[in-house]
């Protein structure tokens, strides 16, 4: 279950006036009670998901963002780690994660992940996002052209710090340490599963395959449309490299909602999902996604030269629930409808890890809880373990919990 | 505009061969070095006029040429950039040449003069960045929406010079390439000034010994004209000229006046 912490009390017409990241004015739009309530409800929903039988709980990181007020996902992950352990819940702790492209303290991430792995008794999946441009570059002040190089260097340092038997000095281009001697270390041997979120550029996927890690497509557009052209390419690359075509190598986010009937699901969740898309990705200025220098020159040139219709991506600010449903950005309906659609898209795209997003925007807590309960009772048992039943081993799952995924 | 035949490009190996510094050259007469602004280099009417009496050398910040975009990875910081620029100019026999710099290039020209006092000729800076006052923060051109840039750069964005600067090719591929090149150039130069364009130049400007002319647009919305005095008071003997009805790019918005000032100062 994939969860963010969108500030839950934004005004109705938010998208007409503000950006959901960097520039939205705090004093005008938010207050302490709203902040606290958002965190409380987010954590309650994640814990409800873990107690309800989801295979994993997912948290993400965004600084200076109204659509996710989680500047460090290790904080909610720490709460979850302890809950999973004390209640003996069989859910993975998936942190997708601390950004090595934006941090100036890469060893802190190595330490936090190691501590979370220990606190959760080996339930951690360690996610390594490059970091969004507005967050890494504008919020953190990292020159955009350095973002990827910092990510790679930080990742190499982290792996070495986790694995090294001896203390070492690190002379990096972006960080230097006199004496790296990490306490704590991860409890999973040799390390927690490594998941790499990204937008699906070939160079990133190539690198993920070279690491034999899992690739996570973080998309707002759902498994089918978000994955079109990306997963095909991933599997082609996988085959070309002589690696096993195993659906558990990929994960993708899908917004879902479940009610008793299709009609009721639309009536109850539709308006909130529509607002969630409009207030979140729909009102983000393009230059915040891609600061100059963030996207390599040739990639930028290719994107600008493309004449492909951007489709719904260009219309999110005014998008309607019907469009979201028709395009597959959301899968909403009765348990039977959601089951059938989810299974179909996961089969079609060969997705082994479905990250179901069951709350968005200002959706009320009670409604999110209802959707989580209905999904876990009436959808989850049907899609859970669908690829394992077909004989695919899950090699990208923490050793502290039994593998099942999908979901 | 300059045609390909008018312009030649030298590629000077610098940084122990790690970087090929691209230097565009045009014109006749004594050498003059032009250091370009953050969005990259382009020959404009101001430079074409200068090239009628001077040989204009324009070193491109590594990476800002679409021919070699990855060169930026070989320049770690502003200190290295200053050294590479000096190496290239020395290799081309341009020690002693006058330096003219616009905006980002104005800062770079100051850094060269402050790092190597006495090594170059006269200094002209057009609305340079490089200083910071909390009561007059430099506007953030990288965070700005593209449609807001003209008003940030020009007192009158509807003027023909301003319009010409923002007119893109009609052909889709050429337009895409032009936007990609400008965006990437802004990303490359940002490496040396992001997120706040202050690398301590205020503590080095006093080292400049070259005769200096500071030109500023009075209505500069990107770097306020209050900075003209900040540069003026730190560089001994500097002459400061503030132009009315002019924004951040005086060589475009007040081309004739700027050209007259520069010619008068350099002759």
CATH classification at residue A201: 3.20.20.30
Q: What pLDDT does residue B156 have?
A: 97
Q: What pLDDT does residue A202 have?
A: 87
Helices (H), A87-163: 106-119, 133, 147-163
Q: Which of A75-79, A314-318, B100-104 has the lowest mean pLDDT?
A: A314-318
A405 falls within a domain? no
Among chain B residues, the shortest Cα distance to A289 is held by B143
Give me A318's structure tokens: 């005014």
Is B177 close to A141, i.e. CB distance below 8 A? no
A398 falls within a domain? no
Residue B174, H or E segment: helix B172-190
* B172 in contact with A, Cβ within 8 Å: yes
How many domains are contained in chain A? 1
**Residue in A144, A296, A301 nearest the CB of B176:** A301
**Residue in B146, B184, B188 nearest the CB of A300:** B184
> Is the pTM of the predicted complex or chain greater than 0.90?
yes
Q: What pLDDT does residue A344 have?
A: 96
> Rg of chain A's alpha carbons, rounded to an integer?
20
A369-400 pLDDT per residue, tens: 999 999 999 999 999 989 989 999 999 999 99
Q: For A15-43, what is the mean pLDDT?
A: 97
* DSSP-derived secondary structure for B23-66: EEEEESSSEEEEE--TT-----HHHHHHTTTSEEEEEPPTT-ST
Q: For A198-205, what is the mean pLDDT?
A: 88
As for the ipTM of the complex, it is: 0.94
Interface with chain A: mutation pick from B141, B149, B180, B189, highest number of A CBs within 10 Å:
B180
Residues A145 and A293 sit within 8 Å (Cβ to Cβ):
yes
Residues of chain A neighbouring B195 (CB-CB closer than 8 A): 137-138, 141
A402 falls within a domain? no
B236/B209 Cα distance (integer angstroms): 7
* B167 in contact with A, Cβ within 8 Å: no
Give me A292's structure tokens: 């100059």
Q: What pLDDT does residue B165 have?
A: 87
| A residues 22..41 contacting B (CB < 8 A) | 22
Kind of pairing between the strands at B55-59 and B19-27: antiparallel
* B191 in contact with A, Cβ within 8 Å: yes
Residues of chain B neighbouring A297 (CB-CB closer than 8 A): 66, 69-70, 180, 184
* B187 in contact with A, Cβ within 8 Å: yes
Distance from CA of A99 to the nearest CA of B (A): 19
What is the DSSP code (8-state) at residue A21? B
Kind of pairing between the strands at B123-126 and B31-35: unpaired
- More confident of the two residues A339 and A407: A339
Residues of chain A neighbouring B145 (CB-CB closer than 8 A): 285, 287
* C-alpha count within 13 angstroms, C-beta hemisphere, residue B193: 27
**Residue in B76, B142, B172 nearest the CB of A292:** B142
Among chain A residues, the shortest Cα distance to B196 is held by A141
Q: Which domains does chain B have, with CATH numbers?
A: 8-266 (3.40.50.1820)
Among A258, A198, A260, A257, smallest CA distance to A230 is for A198
* B5 in contact with A, Cβ within 8 Å: no
Among B217, B214, B222, smallest CA distance to B247 is for B217
Q: Is the pLDDT of residue A84 over 60?
A: yes
Q: For residue A349, give every residue at least 6 positions away whose Cβ sits within 8 Å of its Cβ, in sequence order, or none.
A: A223, A224, A227, A231, A250, A252
A290 falls within a domain? yes
Give me A251's structure tokens: 């994960």
Q: Is the pLDDT of residue A405 over 80?
A: no
Among chain A residues, the shortest Cα distance to B147 is held by A287
Distance from CA of B193 to the nearest CA of A (A): 8
Is A146 close to B63, i.e. CB distance below 8 A? no
B239/B234 Cα distance (integer angstroms): 11
A207 falls within a domain? yes
Give me A154's structure tokens: 């930080």
B220/B230 Cα distance (integer angstroms): 15
Residue A37, H or E segment: helix A32-51
State the residue range of the domain holding A266: 14-297+310-389
Distance from CA of B183 to the nearest CA of A (A): 5
* A149 in contact with B, Cβ within 8 Å: yes
Is A145 close to B63, i.e. CB distance below 8 A? yes
Q: Which of A11-15, A151-155, A225-229 has the lowest mean pLDDT?
A: A225-229
Interface with chain B: mutation pick from A301, A303, A307, A309, highest number of B CBs within 10 Å:
A301
* B142 in contact with A, Cβ within 8 Å: yes
A370 falls within a domain? yes
**Average pLDDT value over all residues in chain A:** 96
A406: confidence class by pLDDT, cuts 50, 70, 90: low
Give me A59's structure tokens: 């948290």
* B168 in contact with A, Cβ within 8 Å: no
Mark the ranges of chain B whose per-residue pLDDT is less than 50: 1
Distance from CA of B5 to the nearest CA of A (A): 26
B150/B156 Cα distance (integer angstroms): 8
Is A287 close to B180, i.e. CB distance below 8 A? no
A304 falls within a domain? no
């Amino acid at each position: 279950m994939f969860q963010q912490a969108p500030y839950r009390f934004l005004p109705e017409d938010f998208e007409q006036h503000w950006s959901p990241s960097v520039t939205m004015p705090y004093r005008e739009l938010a207050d302490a009670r709203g902040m606290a309530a958002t965190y409380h409800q987010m954590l309650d929903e994640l814990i409800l998901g873990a107690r309800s039988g989801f295979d994993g709980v997912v948290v993400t990181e965004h600084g200076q963002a109204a659509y996710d007020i989680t500047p460090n996902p290790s904080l909610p992950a720490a709460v979850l780690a302890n809950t999973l352990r004390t209640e003996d819940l069989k859910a993975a702790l998936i942190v997708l994660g601390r950004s090595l492209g934006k941090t100036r303290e890469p060893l802190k991430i190595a330490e936090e992940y190691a501590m979370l792995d220990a606190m959760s008794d080996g339930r951690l999946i360690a996610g390594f996002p490059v970091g969004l441009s507005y967050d890494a570059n504008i919020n953190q002040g990292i020159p955009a052209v350095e973002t990827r190089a910092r990510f790679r260097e930080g990742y190499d340092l982290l792996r070495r710090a986790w694995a090294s038997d001896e203390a070492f000095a690190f002379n990096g281009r972006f960080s230097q340490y006199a004496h790296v001697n990490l306490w704590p270390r991860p409890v999973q041997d040799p390390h927690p599963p490594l998941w790499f979120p990204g937008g699906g550029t070939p160079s990133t996927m190539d690198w993920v395959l070279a690491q034999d890690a899992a690739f996570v497509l973080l998309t707002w557009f759902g498994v089918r449309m978000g994955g079109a052209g990306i997963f095909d390419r991933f599997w082609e690359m996988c085959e070309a490299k002589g690696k096993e075509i195993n659906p558990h190598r990929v994960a993708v986010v899908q917004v879902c909602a479940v009610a008793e009937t299709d009609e009721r699901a639309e009536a109850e969740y539709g308006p909130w999902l529509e607002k969630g898309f409009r207030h979140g990705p729909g009102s983000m200025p393009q230059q915040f996604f891609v600061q100059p220098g963030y996207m390599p020159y040739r990639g930028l040139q290719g994107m600008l030269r493309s004449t492909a219709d951007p489709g719904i991506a260009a219309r999110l600010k005014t998008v309607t629930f019907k469009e979201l449903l028709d395009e597959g950005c959301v899968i909403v309906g009765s348990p039977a409808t959601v089951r059938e659609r989810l299974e179909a898209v996961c089969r079609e795209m060969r997705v082994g890890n479905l990250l179901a997003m069951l709350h968005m925007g200002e959706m009320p807590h009670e409604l999110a809880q209802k959707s989580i309960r209905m999904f876990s009772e009436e959808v989850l048992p049907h899609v859970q373990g669908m690829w394992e039943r077909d004989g695919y081993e899950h090699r990208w799952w923490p050793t502290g919990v039994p593998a099942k995924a999908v979901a | 505009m300059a045609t390909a035949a008018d312009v030649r490009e030298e590629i000077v190996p610098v940084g122990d061969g790690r970087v090929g510094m691209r230097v565009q050259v045009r014109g006749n007469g004594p050498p003059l070095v032009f250091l370009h602004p953050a969005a990259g280099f382009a020959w404009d009417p101001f430079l074409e006029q200068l090239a009628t009496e001077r040989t204009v050398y324009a070193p491109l910040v590594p990476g800002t040429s679409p021919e070699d975009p990855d060169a930026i990875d070989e320049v770690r910081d502003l200190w290295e950039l200053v050294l590479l620029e000096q190496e290239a100019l020395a290799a081309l026999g341009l020690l002693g040449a006058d330096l003219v710099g616009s905006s980002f290039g104005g800062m770079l020209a100051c850094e060269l003069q402050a790092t190597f006092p006495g090594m170059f000729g006269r200094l002209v800076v057009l609305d340079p960045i490089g200083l910071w006052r909390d009561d007059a923060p430099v506007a953030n051109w990288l965070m700005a929406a593209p449609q807001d840039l003209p008003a940030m750069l020009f007192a009158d964005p509807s003027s023909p010079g301003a319009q010409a600067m923002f007119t893109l090719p009609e052909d889709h591929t050429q337009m895409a390439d032009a936007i990609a090149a400008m965006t990437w150039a802004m990303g490359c130069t940002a490496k040396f000034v992001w997120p706040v364009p202050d690398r301590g130049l205020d503590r080095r400007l006093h080292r400049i010994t070259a005769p200096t002319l500071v030109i500023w647009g009075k209505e500069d919305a990107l770097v306020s004209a209050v900075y003209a005095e900040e540069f003026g008071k730190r560089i001994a003997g500097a002459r400061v000229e503030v132009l009315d009805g002019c924004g951040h790019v005086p060589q475009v918005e007040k081309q004739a006046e700027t050209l007259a000032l520069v010619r008068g100062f350099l002759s």
